[in-house]
Copies of this chain bind each other. A is one copy, B any other.
Amino acid sequence: MTHAPVVDVLKGQYAEGETVTVKGWVRTRRDSKAGLSFIALHDGSCFDPIQVVALSSLDNYADVQRLTAGCSLAVTGTVKASQGKGQALELEAQSIDIVGWVENPDTYPMAAKRHSIEYLREYAHLRPRTNVIGAVTRVRNCLSQAIHRFFHERGYYWISTPILTASDTEGAGEMFRVSTLDMMNLPRDDKGQVDYAEDFFGKETYLTVSGQLNVETYANAMSKVYTFGPTFRAENSNTSRHLAEFWMIEPEVAFADLSDIAQLSEDMLKYVCKAVLEERADDMAFFEQRINKDVVRRLQALVESDFVRMDYTDAINILQASGKQFEFPVEWGVDLSSEHERYLAEEHVGAPIIMQNYPKDIKAFYMRLNDDNKTVAAMDVLAPGIGEIIGGSQREERLDVFDARLEEMGLSQEDYAWYRDLRRYGTVPHAGFGLGFERLVAYVTGMQNVRDVIPFPRTPGNASF
């Protein structure tokens, strides 16, 4: 007997009257006075469960009447047009094999009632069985597949940059130390310091905060590359937007300038959002109904909009002329905060903004200095409803300018020896950006907290499961 995914049956891939087997977990059971039961069975293959009609003539109908949320079944039945609301097709059971019971239905943590999102977080191993986390899982998968497809179709190569790194050269944030030293018996050097020469890699080692510097080496050989991997920040940030472990996508393009990479970010965001609208309409309808009523509309708006290019300097003028009272005062040279970004994207423009050419003093050392000597070729994508979602830049490819910048920032050439080599040997203009994957999933689904869009969130004090 064919084991059919629920989605295939609901989509009509089996004719009415055909016999199929579906396998999954009970969401609800309802007994009718007419002496039959309706079971909603889900298997994760789509948002909707399938309605199984269990007649009292089944051998094990007494057992069927004891089924509760979470029990696992293999149901062989006949595909029929449904009389009930909410589905076109249902399955009239010929047999119901009860594969696994729920040990104690009264204490089953995912019993069929509405749970708070915070409660679900405590049960990260069971929460994918819920409507909301199931939908998040499918949309997250859809986005990741669309990202790989987008880059693959355009001739980009996926590069796995290292997770373990021996130096904090990126300077993007606090790092986690990685070690195999015996913590109760640390080796010491002759100055009494911990002797990392004895450690696994022979020196101090950390978890990466970004693959950018590494992936630049591949852009300078293969032209178009991207990373898609985990990155880490040991920041004590307990916010709805921060994780200690999160996934990042970082394309890097040779012979590209700021304008090219701005266009790439716009094309990519539209492509992946369109994929979700087309492929996950079922899940998006749920998010619209239960999580955020604007979520579909704003995705459609993003796909159809033209992203507005705006210079930082112009943005400052707009903010100052707005007459708005901001918590953080605005003047040229300050970093834009979330309230500024959202005012610009949501109120002033009403569309995604690609903000460009920031003051060099608030940006990283590797960004390309503009001719004004005051700004760098950096860009952020600011989206209505979330603010900054992408940050990128053209990289400084001129060795003399780069070295001057290193010196200005008190950084040593030696620490950046291999990075400088890219500028010594056939240097080319190149640019790239970083997209935090969980922020994208949160934006697309409307979920308020990034902890609910990654399977097992890691945050200060929490590495459960």
A residues contacting B by CB (< 8 A) are 3, 5, 7, 23-26, 43-45, 70-72, 74, 99-103, 108, 110, 124-126, 128-129, 134, 137-138, 140-141, 144-145, 148, 152, 155, 157-166, 174, 176-181, 183-184, 186, 193-194, 200-203, 205, 207, 214, 217-218, 220-224, 229-230, 232, 234, 244-245, 247, 254-255, 397, 418-419, 421-422, 424-429, 454-456, 458, 460-465
Contact = CB atoms under 8 A, between A and B. Distances in A.
B137 A463 contact: no
Nearest to A129: B221
Nearest to A128: B221
B176 A179 contact: yes
A335 to B, nearest CB: 25
Interface centre among A179, A186, A193, A232 (most CB of B within 10 A): A179
B183 A455 contact: no
Given A160-B230, A174-B180, A186-B183, A427 B141 contact: no
B128 A23 contact: no
A252 to B, nearest CB: 12
Nearest to A162: B456
Contact of A426 (B101, B174, B205, B224): B101
Given A7-B155, A176-B178, A455-B162, A134 B463 contact: no
Contacts of A422: 125
Number of copies: 2
30 contacts: A5-B223, A24-B223, A45-B222, A99-B255, A99-B428, A100-B397, A100-B426, A100-B427, A102-B425, A125-B418, A128-B221, A134-B221, A137-B159, A137-B218, A138-B222, A141-B158, A145-B152, A160-B454, A160-B455, A161-B456, A162-B458, A164-B244, A164-B458, A177-B179, A177-B183, A183-B186, A183-B194, A184-B194, A201-B463, A218-B455
B44 A463 contact: no
Given A425-B110, A454-B160, A166 B44 contact: no
A49 B434 CA distance: 30
Nearest to A418: B125
Nearest to A163: B230
A247 B418 CA distance: 24
A247 B462 contact: no
Nearest to A424: B103
Contacts of A460: 200-201
Contacts of A464: 166
A463 B455 CA distance: 29
Contacts of A100: 397, 425-428
Contacts of A230: 160, 163, 229-230
Contact of A244 (B101, B148, B200): B200
A203 B162 contact: no
Contacts of A164: 176, 232, 244-245, 458, 463
Contacts of A205: 463
Contact of A222 (B23, B137, B220, B456): B137
A152 B3 CA distance: 18
A8 B230 CA distance: 33
Contacts of A183: 177, 179, 181, 186, 194
Contacts of A160: 230, 247, 454-455
Nearest to A230: B163
Nearest to A460: B200
A82 to B, nearest CB: 22
Nearest to A247: B160
Given A103-B425, A193-B184, A234-B200, A222 B157 contact: no
